[in-house]
Amino acid sequence: MYDFLASYYPWIKAAHVVSVITWMAGIFYLPRLFVYHVEGYEKKGVEPGSDMDLLFQRQERLLLRAIMNPAMIATWVFGLMLVFTPGIVSWSMIWPWTKAAGVLTMTWFHHWLGRRRKEFARGENRLSGRTYRMMNEVPTILLLVIVFSVIVKF
């Protein structure tokens, strides 16, 4: 198994990077959709159950289920394959731990977004556009922690 991982390391790493980019695109876009969705409610242009509300819900559902969920799973699978590749991770250093914390928090954020999507679908959203704008900064901070951990390897 380890020989396989070492032999295909560049391919696994490339697949991991593509998965991360795809996941991050969704992570950045879904909260922005929530901002537009909730501000549509606040401005009375989008009533719960209206065509526009259902369009937002469809976009949010498809983004999460068809893009973000598969990308998150692929990121984890390829990431774990990299972790188990001999010579790639030295757990005696700090960087794998900070990266792991960042990835776990990003995964939590992903699921937090999923719960918010379900609230919109039930017509139970209680958060403001401002809150979603603020939460949209969380993945940026996590991305910085993860990338600097891996590249600088402190």
Binning pLDDT at 50, 70 and 90, where does residue 50 land?
confident
Q: What's the token pair of residue 120?
A: 């919109």
Domain ranges of the chain: 2-152
Distance CA 10, CA 97 (A): 23
Candidate from 21-30, 33-42, 111-120, 121-130 with smallest mean pLDDT: 33-42
pLDDT tens sequence across 12-28: 999 999 999 999 999 99
Under 8 Å between Cβ of 68 and 76: no
pLDDT tens sequence across 33-42: 999 999 887 6
Read off the pTM.
Answer: 0.92
Residue 46 pLDDT: 76
Mean pLDDT (whole number) for 80-104: 96
Burial category of 107 from C-beta neighbours within 10 Å (exposed 0-12, middle 13-18, buried 19 and up): middle
Mean pLDDT (whole number) for 105-126: 96
- How high does pLDDT run on average in the chain? 94
Mean pLDDT (whole number) for 143-148: 97
Under 8 Å between Cβ of 143 and 105: no
* DSSP-based three-state secondary structure for 136: coil
Under 8 Å between Cβ of 121 and 64: no
Judged against a pLDDT cut of 70, whether residue 152 lies above it is answered with yes
Distance CA 88, CA 75 (A): 16
Under 8 Å between Cβ of 96 and 89: yes
Angle at 63 between CA 68 and CA 124, to 5 degrees: 110
Distance CA 64, CA 72 (A): 10
